[in-house]
Structures are given as C-alpha cells and as structure tokens.
Amino acid sequence: MNTLPLTGLKVLDLSRLLPGPYATLVLADLGATVDKLEDPEGGDYIRHMPPLRDDESALFYGLNRNKRSLVLNLKSPEGREALKRLVRSYDVLLESFRPGVMDKLGVGWSVLHEQNPRLVYCAISGYGQTGPDRLKAGHDLNYAARAGVLGYGGQADGAPAFPGVQLGDIGGGSLFALVGILAALHERERTGQGRFVDVSMTDGAMAFLHMHLAARLVMGEQGQPLRRGRETLNGGQACYGLYRTSDDRYLSVGALEPKFLAGVCEVLGCPELLADAYDTGEAGMRVKAEFTRRFAEHPLAYWKERFAGRDVCVEPVLEGDEVLEDPQLRARGLFVESEDTQRGRRVTHLLTPLRLGETPLRPPPTVGQHSRKILSEAGFSPEEIERLVN
C-alpha cells in the first residue's frame, strides 16, 4: 500500500489563526500526524470567526482537516510540565506567539530542546525573533507594507494596490515555515539534532519582491528606487497589465514577449502599435492608453471568444464562484467533495497545491476531541490524564 511522504512524522501545533495552521495543514495533507494544542478557554481563536455553519467557523474547518486536538492549559504548572513530556515524542513543534512568550512560560526552545534534542522548533512571528520591532503587533497588511510589497503595486501616482489575500501570512509565514521545517528535518538526518527555525512574515513577504529589489541592490548608484506602476511587471508597459472591459470586468494581459504581444495587437486590430509597445516614455504610454480604449469597447465574453485558441498570455480575471467552475482547476482536482460523518453532511474541500498521493479528508476536530488519546500515546497514566483534561 502506498503511503504519503510524511507518514510517521509527528507535529505539535501550538499556533492559531492562519499562518501556522496552514503550514500544518500542508504537513497533514502530506501524511504527518498533526496535533493541535489548544487553550481550554475556547481553543484556536479562528474557531469563533464567521462565516459560521451550524455554529462552527467555516474558516477553521477549511484550515484544520486531518488534525487532532489536545487541550492543555500552559498557564498552569501542570500544563507546562505536560508539554515538556509531550515533546519527547514529537518531531516538530510549531508556534506563533510573540517572541519571548514561550520562554516566559518556561517552555521555550532551550527547555524543549533539552527534553528532546531531535525536536525541530519553528516559531512564526510578524517581525522575527530579533530586531527593534520584534515585539510589535501587526497583521498581514502591515508586514506586506513594511516589506515594500504593497508600495510596488498600484497605479503610478496613485494609491498602493490592496492585495486582498494574505501575502505575509501564507507566502511569508506558512510557506517559509514549511521550507525551514523540512530543511531542518533533513539536517537532523545527518546530525541527529533539531534546530530552532525563526520565521518572520515580514522577511518572507519581501521574498515576493526579491527579483526587483535584488536587482536594485546590484545596480547600486547606477540604478534607481523601485517605482509603483512604472516598471515592466507592475503596470508600466502595455504588454503586462489589467484592462477593463465594457461590462466592468477585467482581462489580464501578460504578453511580455514580442511574439505574444504581436498576437494581442492583431486581435485588437492595431498591429502597428507593436513598434512602440516597449517604449518606456510617452510613446509607450500612448500604446497603453490605446489598449485601454480598445479593450473597453466590448464585454468580457467578446474578448474571451476573440482570444480563444490563441496562445498569447491573456486570461479573464475570474471573480467570486467562477474560480470553482474553471475547467483547468477542476481538472487538477483542487475541489474534492467528502462525507463528514461526524457532522452528518457533505463538504467540498479545497486541497493544498502539493499532492504526492491521495489526500486524506478527515474532518477537523472539536476542541480537545483527542486529548485523552494523545496523552495516552505519550505515556501519561489514566490518573494523570484525568487531572489534565478536567
């Protein structure tokens, strides 16, 4: 029987909300045993956030399948001692508290490493474990702003573009946490020792700007600061941008190469514009303005038909539930329906992008649903379990 690649890996997840839980969702989907350690006062905060279905958060449901839940009060001496014992049987611990919180509780990296030298300990925070702002509060939008990512998007001389998705949380936090965890596990195979993985969501958000900012650094005094809406990949040229149609929909045009842009010009009925399309001055702006005018003459359906069968890097901007019906995404198996026998209903799951086998679809746990089982597996006696869970 084929097994998933992370089968046998044990992960203790102390994180809440989005960055940590998405990282451990990917691990769980790849076969890891993921146990959520939750606070007795309601558990993960996201359990209570709308939208709600049958008094249960759909946000929590979507992030926490294939996981188990254990309740421990880390503010109590008994809970902290229990955590020290628990980590002896885990490969990975992930937390997303502000820097220093775990140390103040007496269960930080140095203490847990002593209990289990093979433990990979990953801490996700807004600004990282070091630096003057390491204790500062923040959210995804703040991290993307500090990293320069927000300032690079939007129209020239206009406001920065609101991303609408969690670049810092998922891109900067979850994904770099996964890279760090898997790298540390690989290193452990060689050294036998775990490692502390410091993930800053602000640092990670800056990775989305890497090509442009790294090039700026290379250019030094010969270069110039990054400019919103004026460069090739952020709206500064006609070949790469968003265009409104007559029915207030949008097309994405990514025709960077001349062969693609020539096809776009042909469909628009203006092949002569290709000569000036890559100009970075007024001539290029005139081409962009003409593209804007012509795309606005017809609705999205018209342009979809005109571009059908043409390989020129033009796609409609899908909105709302349209993405759920996209034939390419459906063919990739991203949306999978499953029976949730625990709740007595069918649910459609959004799978994580990397699938190396059949993804399990066990429903998310209720608060503390598996406390007794997890503690028993870790060697706690029935009497100890009773004291901890009651």
**Active-site residue set:** 139, 169
Q: How do 52-53 and 56-57 pair as beta strands?
A: antiparallel
Q: How far is CA 282 from the centre of its chain?
A: 39
Query: What φ, ψ does residue 222 adopt, rounded to 5°?
Result: -80, -10
Sign of the torsion formed by the C-alpha atoms of 185, 190, 192 and 193: negative
Distance, CA of 277 to CA of 118 (rounded, Å): 57
Cα separations in angstroms, 262 against 25, 232, 275, 369: 43, 17, 10, 60
The C-alpha angle with vertex 63 and arms to 106 and 336, in degrees rounded to 5, equals 155
Query: Which positions ≥6 away from 210 have C-beta within 8 Å?
Result: none
Q: Can the peptide bond before residue 365 be classed as cis, meaning omega within 30 degrees of 0?
A: no
Could you identify the residue written with the tokens 């020290």? Answer: 84
Indicate the helix (H) or strand (E) that contains 49.
none
In the chain, the amino acid numbered 114 is E
| Coil, helix or strand at residue 10 | strand
Distance, CA of 16 to CA of 110 (rounded, Å): 22
Cite the beta strand spans of the chain per DSSP E.
10-13, 33-38, 52-53, 56-57, 67-71, 92-95, 120-125, 196-200, 240-244, 250-254, 314-316, 335-340, 345-350
Indicate the helix (H) or strand (E) that contains 241.
strand 240-244
Sign of the torsion formed by the C-alpha atoms of 10, 16, 20 and 24: positive
| Coil, helix or strand at residue 244 | strand
Tokens of 72: 């421990």
> Which residues pair with residue 55 across a beta bridge?
none
In contact, 23 and 63? CB cutoff 8 Å: no
Query: What φ, ψ does residue 144 adopt, rounded to 5°?
Result: -65, -35
Cβ atoms within 10 Å, residue 234: 20
Q: In residues, how long is the chain?
A: 390
